[in-house]
Amino acid sequence: MASSSIEFYPNPGIEALQLFVLLHGVGGNPDNLEALGLALRVAFSNAVVLIPEGFHAYDNGGPGRQWFSTRGVGEDNRAERVAQALPALNEYVRAAQLRLKIKTGHTALAGFSQGAIMALEAVQADQALAGRVLAFSGRYATLPDKAPQYTTIHLLHGADDAVITVNHAMAAQHRLGQLQGDSTIDVASHVGHELHPVLIKRAIERLQTCVPLRSWEAAMGHDQAPPPDATVH
C-alpha cells in the first residue's frame, strides 16, 4: 500500500534552506514521485522534499488519489475545478513554509500531469507562493494573462506524450514569452506521458544552472553546472 506522504529531510547538522513540494498525477500516489524526490535530495543536501498525496479519492476507485475530478472535464470547466482545488494546496504549502521556516522564494513546486497543472496554477493564484515550478507533462488550465512576477517556470515534456500533448507546453512557453515571464522549456525525444529519468536529470540541471530573475543561489549554496543532455532540446 502506498504511503500517505513521503518526506525527505537534510541530514543531522545541515540547516534546511530549501523546500520542494512534489505533486503526483491523477490516480497516482506519492510513490510515483519518489525517484524525483530522491534525485532532488541528492542534488540539494539542504532541502526538505515533501510528497503529499492528492487531497481527494480517485474518481475511478482504488487506492489512487487526485487533486480535482476529471469526470466530464473539458476546456469549459477545467479552470473552475482547479480554482476550487487550489486553496487547500496553497494552505498546505504555506503551512510547510511556516513550520520549516523556509522563505517562499526558496520554495519550489514540482508536479507531474495533473500535479503540474496544480503547480502552474498555484503560482498564478498566489504569485508569492514559490520561486520555482517544475511542470512535467503538464499544462495550464487556462493560458495566463499575466506571468508570475516571482517565479521561474520550467516546462519539461515528452515529445510523444499522447495524454497531454507537447503543444500545451509549447503554447505555455510562447505565452510566457509574450508576457515577459521567466521560463524555460525542454522536450525529450521519444518520451511519452511519463516522469522519464532524462526529464528528471534536465530538471536538476535547470535548478542548478538557470539563474532566475531573482536570486535562487542564496538558497542553493553552490554552483554546479553539469554538461547539457544531448537527448533533450
Active site residues: 113, 161, 193
CA-to-CA dists, residue 15 to 122, 180, 189, angstroms: 27, 34, 38
Sheet holding 5-8, edge to edge: 5-8, 47-52, 18-23, 107-112, 132-136, 152-158, 182-188
Q: Which residues lie below 8 Å from residue 177, measured CB to CB, with a gap of 6+?
A: 183
Q: Can you say whether the dihedral through the CA atoms of 172, 173, 179, 182 is positive or negative?
A: positive
